[in-house]
Amino acid sequence: MGLHQFRLARDFVCVQGDDAESYLQSQLSNQIAGMPVRTSRNSLLLDPTGKVVAVVRVTRFEDTVFLLDTEVGFAGAVIARLNRFRIRVKADIEALDWQCVALRGDGAREFASPLGGVPTDGLVVDAWWGGDTAVDLIGASVADVDGIDACDTEAFDAMRVAAGWPLAGVDFAPGCIPAETGLVAVAVSFSKGCYPGQELVERMDSRAVTAPHTLRLVDDANFRVGDVVVEGVTVTSVGGGKAIVRAKRDVADIGVALGPA
């Protein structure tokens, strides 16, 4: 796959202060404590009943500074949810006007490795399922990358679907349960301490309960978004010769589970 760049709109939230690490550890589904500086990982932000508020990528920018980025339109919900339990916590939470340039294709990580400075070229962070073909440059001001062709929205979304990466608000709705996002494997730690919503996640995992709906990746036979493949299976995204579908529990064996290739 040829290497391309795309200026990707994202919402950014900064959590900064002496208690930033411990507070995020207590609120997010993934392991935050001990993250090395300038590394990132995905996590779910849940309400106390276990429903999904947002999927966030957490980047430890400095020792006491964490950046959470998410789909456009979710920053307000993330800030409101984090502030809900912020009592006697030494951490400020605010939205940031940051930028993101996505690099996708063979050699993306190798090409991006020298571009680690902020704000000129951006901080390099893992994207989608990780690996060497999907990284993002994030920063207060990220320049376009010389020598890499830009792609349009349709082409970028086709790459996303072909990679099997789901989007909140497109493939699953806010307020669904974590197991319906297809992201539990990369966004949940089952060995960390407590966090709001953990009971539902742990109970479903320990009992091997299949979610009412799951996301699956199928070959695209000229599907369109909204098409019903078979009864109980609806197309949510198409592109790159693939389709992401939302399948009811009794037809959850269609296609393959979302995950790294």
In a domain, 204, yes or no: no
In a domain, 209, yes or no: no
Confidence at residue 119, expressed as pLDDT on a 0 to 100 scale: 44
As a whole number, the mean pLDDT across the chain is 93
In a domain, 86, yes or no: yes
Confidence band for 116, pLDDT divided at 50, 70 and 90: low
In a domain, 203, yes or no: no
In a domain, 103, yes or no: yes
Q: Tell me how many degrees the CA angle 254-162-54 measures, rounded to the nearest 5.
A: 85
Distance (Å, rounded) from C-alpha 115 to C-alpha 93? Answer: 27
Q: Write out the residue range of the structural domain in which residue 24 sits.
A: 4-163
In a domain, 34, yes or no: yes
Q: What is the number of structural domains in the chain?
A: 1
In a domain, 116, yes or no: yes
User: Where residue 86 sits, what CATH number does that domain have?
Assistant: 3.30.1360.120
Please give the biggest Cα pair distance in the chain.
55
Q: Is the pTM of this model over 0.85?
A: yes
In a domain, 252, yes or no: no
pLDDT, tens digit, 9 for 90 and up, residues 41-86? 999 999 999 999 999 999 999 999 999 999 999 999 999 999 999 9
